[in-house]
Amino acid sequence: MIRFKKILFVFPETRYPSGQPPLGIAMLSAVAKQCGAETALCDMSFEKKPFEHLSRMLAEFKPDAVSITVVTPQIGATLTACEVVRRDSPGTYLMVGGPHATVLPVETLETSGADLVYSGEGEIAFRLIVEGTDPGEIPGACFMKDGRAVVVPGRLLVKNLDTLPLPDRDIFDMKKYFTTWYSMDRVDSSLKGTTIMGTRGCPYTCTFCQPTLSEIFGKKMRKRSPESIVEELQHLVDKYSINGFMFEDSTFVVDHPWVTEICSLMNKRASSSGGAAMSAQICLPKSFLIQWSVPGSQRLTWVLSRHRKGFWTIYTGRELQLKV
């Protein structure tokens, strides 16, 4: 018997649609479905009147829990969304998580009036929440008790990423994401593609990301197996007939043999399936920019962009570790 049977996710992106669907929400939805819950998404990305859309979805879907995922630029929309939930659906359990909630849990709790704010990677915690575990027993949970914010210390990180379900992309209107996916990242507009993630965490300490990234995913990098990644790519090709992929991992290339293995598995599939296109967005620490090559690709330089037979584009950038 689960505590929450109908969960409405909210993606509070009200300013511009990106072609990259929020995979964190898709992961939580997949977990909720594994628990037996029904899920829906209020995706504000493509809505002219996002908060009216939320009102409508609350009335139609009648969720018993709402889960909002927030990055810092979305905090204004998130607070408005929380007001709408409280106004239109006062009995609904309200949760907020994501990078902003991770780094500022108490402030997020106090300003949003949510029942629970969550810091960190969410799959294990979300299962516990859906099943009805007391938040006081969930590391990373933040909630009000006797008028004061309580933060439960610790994090719940998945040890083996291969044990996670595939992201539930069924909750997205994938047609809309296909029409915009190239716009943010200058991918060839003739490609139909989407995003995928193979890793979590980064061992480096650049000021651009840290400490946020470590607060969410820990200090160690965890990787899915090359087989599981290639299986997901195959699933995307089979289900959506896509011919482009973007790895949106923060540091895709840290482990060279692992990347090489993925590439050779992809090359094998590509040659047996007549060729599939892929694009990789890669964030490289300086030391890795020197020389690196994978089967079937050109050597990496500062910026490498090649369209080869059925294959790929790579974006690189340089991050700095600053002393402040």
The residue ranges that bind ligand B12 (CB under 6 A) are 13, 18, 20, 22-24, 27-28, 67, 69, 71-74, 95, 97-100, 103, 118, 121-123, 125-126, 184, 197, 208-209, 212-213, 216, 248, 250
Asked if 18 contacts 28 with a C-beta cutoff of 8 angstroms, the reply is no
Q: How far apart are CA 35 and CA 1, in angstroms?
A: 9
Quick one: which H or E segment has residue 68? strand 65-69
Closest by alpha carbon to 70, among 14, 141, 128, 32? 14
- Beta-bridged to residue 6, according to DSSP, are 38
Residue 168 or 215: the one with the smaller Cβ distance to ligand SF4 is 215
| Distance in Å, CB of 16 to ligand B12, minimum | 8
Residue 208 or 292: the one with the smaller Cβ distance to ligand SF4 is 208
| Distance in Å, CB of 294 to ligand B12, minimum | 21
Asked if 94 contacts 82 with a C-beta cutoff of 8 angstroms, the reply is yes
Which 8-state DSSP code applies to residue 304? B
One-character DSSP codes across 82-123: HHHHHHH-TTSEEEEESHHHHH-HHHHHHHH--SEEE-S--H
Residue 140 or 226: the one with the smaller Cβ distance to ligand B12 is 140
| Distance in Å, CB of 308 to ligand B12, minimum | 25
| Distance in Å, CB of 295 to ligand B12, minimum | 25
| Distance in Å, CB of 95 to ligand B12, minimum | 4
Residue 288 or 315: the one with the smaller Cβ distance to ligand B12 is 315
Among ligand SF4, ligand B12, none, the one that 251 touches (CB under a kind-dependent 5 to 8 A) is: ligand SF4
Phi-psi region of 315 (alpha: psi -120 to 50; beta: other; left: phi over 0): beta
| Distance in Å, CB of 118 to ligand B12, minimum | 3
Among ligand B12, ligand SF4, none, the one that 283 touches (CB under a kind-dependent 5 to 8 A) is: ligand SF4
Instruction: Find all residues with CB under 8 Å of 160, minimum gap 6, and list them.
Output: none
Residue 99 or 285: the one with the smaller Cβ distance to ligand SF4 is 285
Count of Cβ atoms closer than 10 Å to residue 189 Cβ: 10
Among ligand SF4, ligand B12, none, the one that 204 touches (CB under a kind-dependent 5 to 8 A) is: ligand SF4
Q: How far apart are CA 281 and CA 302, in angstroms?
A: 13
Tell me, what amino acid is at 138?
Answer: I
Residue 1 or 322: the one with the smaller Cβ distance to ligand SF4 is 322
Among ligand B12, ligand SF4, none, the one that 55 touches (CB under a kind-dependent 5 to 8 A) is: none
Q: How far apart are CA 106 and CA 142, in angstroms?
A: 7
CA-based diameter of the chain, in Å?
63
Residue 1 or 320: the one with the smaller Cβ distance to ligand SF4 is 320
**Residue ranges binding ligand SF4 (CB under 6 A):** 202, 204, 206, 208-210, 213, 250-251, 283, 285, 319
| Distance in Å, CB of 195 to ligand B12, minimum | 7
Count of Cβ atoms closer than 10 Å to residue 261 Cβ: 18
